[in-house]
Structure 1
Amino acid sequence: MKFILRNTFLLVFLFSVGNINSQFRTKVNFGSDWEFKRAETNSNWEKVVIPHTAKIEPLVVNNQFQGTCWYQKKFDVSNSKNKKVFLYFEGVMQEADVWINDQKVTNHKGGYLPFTVDVTPFLKSKGNTIKVKVNNEDNPEFLPGKPLKDLDFNYYGGIYRNVYLITTDKLYITNAIQANKKASGGIFVNFDNVTKSEASGTIQVHLKNEYTNNKNVSLKYILTNNEGEKLEFKSETFLINANSNKAITQNIEVKKPKLWSISKPNLYSLEVQVIVNNKIIDTYSETIGIRKSEIKEDGYYLNDEKLYITGTNEHQEYPYLGYAISDEAQYRDAVKIKNAGFDLVRMSHYPHAEAFLNACDVLGILVMNSLTGWQFFGSETFQKNALQDIREMARRDRNHPSVIFWEASLNETQMSESFMKDAAKTLKEEIPFANNYTACWIDNENYDIFIPARQHGKAPDYWTKYNNGKRKIFIAEYGDWEYYAQNAGFNQTEFSNLKDDERTSRQLRGFGEKRLLQQAYNFQEAANSNRKGSQTIGEANWAMFDYNRGYSNDLESSGISDIFRIPKFAYYFYQSQRDANVILDCKLVSGPMINIASYWTENSSLNVTVYSNCDEVAMYLNDVLIAKEKPAINTNSDQLIHPPFIFKLDKFIPGTLRAEGYINGEKVVSNSVKTPEKPTKIELTYDISSKKINPNYPDMVFVYAKITDANGTVIPTATDEVTFSLTEGNAELIGENPVKAEAGIATIILKTTHFKKPISIIATGANLQNGRIEIRPLQKNY
């Protein structure tokens, strides 16, 4: 059966890759009990758990490991004559060769997309061995193609994302990428008509029959909302021939759907059962969400409500561990993005982990999905691989409600006209429905929206006067390069005479209050400028977190949080741009907010900036009212929903600054900062961001040692050396140790394995009272 095409609206559903366990299909984590070694060494095999990075790197990565490493594992698996056994690799960086019992079964090129291995023919009844050869050296034939030493990000080696062992019947629902069929494979759900009263569309299920005889099959669909209400329906019986595959399309209607949105990301559970002779032989469950995404003449609409999209860019990199982080860590990063006030993340510059996309679905974060690439256009083989990556990206992620834009182009790359035409066409072939938007940094007629960086335009207008009448514009990057290099072009290795402390947005937290305020002001000015463009539907700042990149010997520090996820002042500017009447899940930050962008020391500015989404703010110094102000509106704030507040003080007096926010004359929120006194102690905290530490599989959280005075005020100039020690628990500390504090905070990563018992950590420093913390498995982590 073919897909039903209607020229109306597109609804995308979420594909969940959570564990699927039943008597019909099993999906179990295959990450334990691996052995690893790098080819460059003659060392013995070491025991590791997947996700795993080929090498723990320093904080600033100047000489990243590139080379070959090996993984192996012994395993047993039940393999009856009617069963199929698959291994699903979410991501291996960046070329993988796989052997089962000394027989080579596959080669896979490309580090950011998954692949499936059918291991059924190679298994023994007992005592199987898998070996994986992994290489992350430069290779111009597949993406990103550009040598690491010239690249604006890093590609860290290893089996760095999850691996799953999947067993099914010989008649089964396929994997969308493995099936390798246009607009098919696996489960593909589309609703082309969505209103508040009804949503209608199709569910396509792709089946493969590896039996030697024909089968009469029916499918049962069970849709359950978050209140437990079920909608059940069944297909007619159909024939699927021996050793063949077939796609079945089922119409679906949902009355009064609970729509997915950025403030209420309602989700459903969809279960599909495969039935033969009145018996279930395969079943697959997904978590899905219903929404309508549309660009109209006057802007972008989500569920028929106009939305100016405020977003950010993110590189999926942890310090020391590179890309090898847990699903829970991915979720925590998404929480931080949502809490910062953003409603979109651009996946710069590659497809991110499936767990991160799942988190975006759960949290209500829109996504611009991105093809791997940056400033590199390779050979015919490279281009062919790029088009295949577009297909696989679409097949992996087409069912996510969060994905609204597809960057089916190579970022900041001079592509040929024929390639751009083929790239956009490829994405449309894979998702052949209306309101499926392709994006390119070149203003090209083959694409639906134009996504330049702000610095690609010319000051002072940049893109505010853009209007070609065909495409809307989304500012995909802004706030960094135009201030760093004064629009010096695309050569990001020309550093001489470019840095200026008074203008750059590249500010480490340790650079001090004045420079962090400059960074925040840069983002404010640029965000305000973006909103003056009548054709601009949204923006994504550069960037959410500081990160490493191959071509540079320092951290790229334009993040509004540092690489350890500690906020800078700019973080609170963005948080203030979400309306106070937007109330999110109780575990997220929303509602009225206020933040004083000052440390209030003798070196602080007497023009104190306060970020708030309130109507008025009153400022007190040592409980004496300084002033009650409205937002400060000028040419660099007049387009903002909530301009900052500025309070002018006559002189510095040590003590406490307190800001109180008012809405409709009622005080609703307050914030205080105290002049720091003598450093006396270390206070330990750890960051969970509403996601508990995984009790069964490896997880990692940041542990912060705050150097404070007797009142608990962080000393913003403290650079004391701190030593972290584990005194109890099954875990390890990863990072520099001892480590110098930056702006009063020293950070290390706590990596857990089987988190069943309490973990105790102590932090020590010269002339400071020790910090201690105990982390318990069953305590609430929010």
Structure 2
Amino acid sequence: TNALAHELDDTRVTGGVRCIKQSNLLEDVYTYNDFSHTGDNDGILHKNKVTKTNKGYMVTEYNGHMFPTKAFDCEAHRTQHAERHAKVLDTVASYDDVAGASGWCAFDYNTHKDFGSGDMICYHGVMDMFRNPKLAAAVYKSQGDASVVGDVLEVSSSMDIGEYPGGVKGDVWIYTNADCVRMFVNTTFIKEYTRDNSPYKHLAHGPILVDDYIGSRLVNEDHIPAEKAETLKLLLHAISKYGEKNLPLAVKLKALPLFISGTVNREKVTALYGKYIGNWGGQTITYRFEAYRNGKLVKTVIKSPGKPVHVSAQTTRSQLVEKNSYDVAAVHLKAEDENGNVNPFYQEAVSLKTEGALELIGPSIVSLKGGMAGTYVKSVGKTGKGALVVTDVMGNELKVPFSVKVQRS
């Protein structure tokens, strides 16, 4: 088979599919489906643990069924899904003897009874079936050059503490291909992040962990001495990540002098946590993230609670050209707040119809899953204008315009 492949195409090396270590190499490159990553270990096995060959080596599948993730899963699950992909990419990039890796997989898909959640849909993708991105897709897109993929800035959290048990938010990540990201709480500057802040040191633009929600406010607003403010920040952020009852011993020991010196007591720590991080029943907080490249602001993400949601529609092209057969365009539907953030728990239905020189492919009513859905329109042999009309549950109507040209050969 290998010889025949080279006879048919002598320009490319060959590879196969295997999930067995130390198996026979019948092709040019030893390829291996590596599903060894479980969240807290290396992203892939080292080559020498899989094969003794000196020939090329490539990972042909990873993640996938190890951590199925729906676009409408809870935020913590979607975030861990993204972290797992980042970990694999970072580990692959750290090995000189690994040619690369292709993950399982790009898109969710219809499947058999053994995958899915009883719905026979495989949720292994970094995008849903309509090619709408899950959070993990931002890990990949952020590795691209802005001249190719555009300016990327995504934040893993909605910053809503009610999404988490006990209001403990856990890790929040920034995905960007910019030079730096500046974070603000309301109008107060907190911190500037760069790629050097990422724990993923082998990626061009590794995900960046948000580790400061306070900045210099303890000094400026609460008049805590600067040297003690840093330790107090460490304590408050640890409470945010682990919860008050599960603090690591190292954090407790480091914070102990604050209590001994009378700088804080438990009541004051509770009050400061509520002011800067927890904010139960407090003033509405807006988080603003600004991405800069070459000193220029290129993209902004704003996170604020309780904003009205509207349905938006986007298509990669608005002109259809029919030649020997009908032409088709995909339309992506999203439930977004006024800041352009997708609401992953908006599951309402929208109705769809076409006008003019178009026809709908698929059902006329679709429900948004994870705040996203999609549909397709096609030409019908007529030159002219057309539109997809999207109507949400409140009766709000949105039209997506198209032009159609018929060019028979």
**Given the two structures, how large is their TM-score scaled by the length of structure 2?**
0.68
Mapped contact 2:377–2:388 kept (Cα < 8 A): no
Instruction: Give the counterpart letter for 1:424 in structure 2.
Output: N
Mapped contact 2:37–2:88 kept (Cα < 8 A): no
Q: Which residue of 2 aligns with 1:720?
A: 348
1:552-575 C-alpha deviation (Å, 9 max, x unpaired): 442111211110111111111111
Structure 1 residue 546: Cα displacement: 0.9
Instruction: Give the counterpart letter for 1:463 in structure 2.
Output: L
Q: 2:96 aligns to what SS in structure 1?
A: coil
Q: For 1:646 and 1:775, how far apart are their aligned partners in 2? A: 42
Give 1:739's match in structure 2, choosing from 363, 366, 374. 366
1:66-119 C-alpha deviation (Å, 9 max, x unpaired): xxxxxxxxxxxxxxxxxxxxxxxxxxxxxxxxxxxxxxxxxxxxxxxxxxxxxx
Structure 1 residue 639: Cα displacement: 2.3
Structure 1 residue 735: Cα displacement: 2.7
Structure 1 residue 518: Cα displacement: 1.3
Q: 1:723 aligns to what SS in structure 2?
A: strand
CA change 1:461–1:525 in 2 (3 A) is closer
Q: Which residue of 2 aligns with 1:479?
A: 63
Q: Which residue of 2 aligns with 1:594?
A: 153
Q: Which residue of 2 aligns with 1:560?
A: 126
**In proportion to residue count, which structure has more helix?**
2
Q: 1:777 aligns to what SS in structure 2?
A: strand
Q: For 1:461 and 1:684, how far apart are their aligned partners in 2? A: 36
Q: Which residue of 1 aligns with 2:245?
A: none
Q: 2:174 aligns to what SS in structure 1?
A: strand
Structure 1 residue 611: Cα displacement: 0.8
- Give the total of aligned pairs: 319
CA change 1:718–1:426 in 2 (3 A) is same
Give 1:522's match in structure 2, choosing from 67, 74, 84. 84
CA change 1:715–1:768 in 2 (3 A) is farther
Q: 2:296 aligns to what SS in structure 1?
A: strand
1:278-314 C-alpha deviation (Å, 9 max, x unpaired): xxxxxxxxxxxxxxxxxxxxxxxxxxxxxxxxxxxxx
Structure exhibiting the larger radius of gyration computed from Cα positions: 1
Task: Write the mapping of 1:505-584 to structure 2, written as runs, cut at 5 A.
Answer: 506-552=68-114, 553-579=119-145, 583-584=147-148
Q: Which residue of 1 aligns with 2:54?
A: 470
**Given the two structures, how large is their TM-score scaled by the length of structure 1?**
0.38
Q: Which residue of 2 aligns with 1:293?
A: none
1:500-524 C-alpha deviation (Å, 9 max, x unpaired): xxxx2x1111223222111101101
Mapped contact 2:28–2:55 kept (Cα < 8 A): yes
1:27-49 C-alpha deviation (Å, 9 max, x unpaired): xxxxxxxxxxxxxxxxxxxxxxx
Task: Write the mapping of 1:303-382 to structure 2, written as runs, cut at 5 A.
Answer: none
Q: For 2:2 and 2:42, how far apart are their aligned partners in 1? A: 32
Mapped contact 1:680–1:768 kept (Cα < 8 A): no
Q: 1:759 aligns to what SS in structure 2?
A: strand
Structure 1 residue 603: Cα displacement: 3.7
1:426 and 2:41 matched: no
Give 2:291's match in structure 1, choosing from 655, 658, 661. 661
Give 2:379's match in structure 1, choosing from 735, 742, 752. 752
1:770 and 2:332 matched: no
Task: Write the mapping of 1:76-91 to structure 2, written as runs, cut at 5 A.
Answer: none
How many percent of aligned residue pairs carry the same amino acid?
23
1:185-229 C-alpha deviation (Å, 9 max, x unpaired): xxxxxxxxxxxxxxxxxxxxxxxxxxxxxxxxxxxxxxxxxxxxx
Q: Which residue of 1 aligns with 2:14?
A: 438
Task: Write the mapping of 1:667-678 to structure 2, written as runs, cut at 5 A.
Answer: 667-675=296-304, 677=306
Question: Structure 2 stretches of 5 or more lacking a match?
Answer: 164-168, 214-275
Mapped contact 1:679–1:715 kept (Cα < 8 A): no
Task: Write the mapping of 1:79-158 to structure 2, written as runs, cut at 5 A.
Answer: none
CA change 1:612–1:715 in 2 (3 A) is closer
Q: 2:404 aligns to what SS in structure 1?
A: coil
> In angstroms, what is the RMSD of aligned CA positions?
3.0
Q: 1:694 aligns to what SS in structure 2?
A: strand
Mapped contact 2:334–2:371 kept (Cα < 8 A): yes
Structure 1 residue 678: Cα displacement: 5.2
Q: Which residue of 2 aligns with 1:346?
A: none
CA change 1:675–1:751 in 2 (3 A) is farther
1:453 and 2:81 matched: no
Q: Which residue of 2 aligns with 1:194?
A: none
1:664-700 C-alpha deviation (Å, 9 max, x unpaired): 6x23522213435454643333333xx8422333222
Q: For 1:706 and 1:625, how far apart are their aligned partners in 2? A: 31
Give 1:699's match in structure 2, choosing from 299, 324, 327. 327
